[in-house]
């Protein structure tokens, strides 16, 4: 990257270190956006598109769509629904989706429930349109 030292810009909504000044609550998912190409990403050191290091930290709205759903350890009582969730801001995050494993499909809409699971440290999502809600 070629730029002059005076051309650096402070991160939007954050401090000079790129971290948000206010502590994130359990219902807030934090991601980065590249200052050069505006690509959104989750927990990266460099932009995967342009390789830039000018990453700004932003807060996600929490709405997303399941891109790929799988069940890990199906035959154990601790089975969990691990999915790749594409957030409305344009980045993809791996997280756990609460709900019946048979009812989670690609294309389902989800909302962030907890930004960090205390055991695994990954985001937890809740289905917006429960598949069996009409049956009850």
Range of the domain at 17: 1-59
Same domain, 30 and 43: yes
pLDDT at 46: 95
Residue 84 and residue 67 in contact, taking contact as beta carbons nearer than 8 Å: yes
Same domain, 69 and 8: no
Same domain, 101 and 113: yes
pLDDT at 129: 78
pLDDT at 119: 78
How far, in Å, CA of 68 to CA of 99, rounded? 15
Q: Given a cut of 70, is residue 122 above it in pLDDT?
A: yes
Out of 15, 33, 59, a domain closes at 59
Which CATH number do you get for residue 122? 2.40.50.140
| Percent of the chain's residues with pLDDT above 70 | 68
What 3-state DSSP class applies to 25? coil
**Tokens 């460099």 sit on residue:** 46
Mean of pLDDT over the chain: 77
- Mean pLDDT within 29-50: 94
Give the closest residue to 103 by CA, choosing from 74, 71, 64, 62.
71
Same domain, 74 and 114: yes
Give the closest residue to 117 by CA, choosing from 77, 73, 86, 81.
81
pLDDT at 22: 41
Same domain, 50 and 68: no
Same domain, 72 and 131: yes
Same domain, 119 and 85: yes
Report DSSP letters for 58-115, one per residue.
EE---EEEEEEEEEESTTSTT-EEEEEEEETTS-EEEEEEES-GGG--TT-EEEEEES
Same domain, 80 and 131: yes
50-104 pLDDT, tens digit per residue, is 999 999 999 999 999 999 877 665 555 555 677 899 999 999 999 988 877 777 8
Same domain, 48 and 67: no
Residue 127 and residue 98 in contact, taking contact as beta carbons nearer than 8 Å: yes
Q: Chain centroid to CA 82: how far?
A: 13
pLDDT at 105: 85
């Amino acid at each position: 990257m070629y730029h002059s030292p005076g051309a650096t810009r402070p991160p939007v909504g954050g401090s000079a270190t790129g971290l948000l000044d206010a502590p994130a609550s359990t219902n807030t998912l934090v991601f980065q956006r590249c200052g050069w190409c505006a690509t959104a990403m989750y927990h990266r050191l460099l932009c995967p598109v342009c390789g830039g290091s000018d990453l700004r930290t932003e807060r996600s709205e929490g709405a997303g769509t399941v891109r790929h759903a799988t069940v890990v350890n199906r035959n154990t009582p601790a089975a969990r629904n691990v999915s790749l969730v594409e957030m409305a801001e344009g980045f993809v995050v791996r997280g756990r989706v609460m709900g019946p494993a048979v009812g989670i499909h690609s294309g389902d809409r989800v909302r962030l429930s907890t930004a960090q699971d205390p055991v695994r440290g990954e985001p937890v999502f809740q289905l917006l349109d429960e598949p069996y809600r009409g049956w009850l």
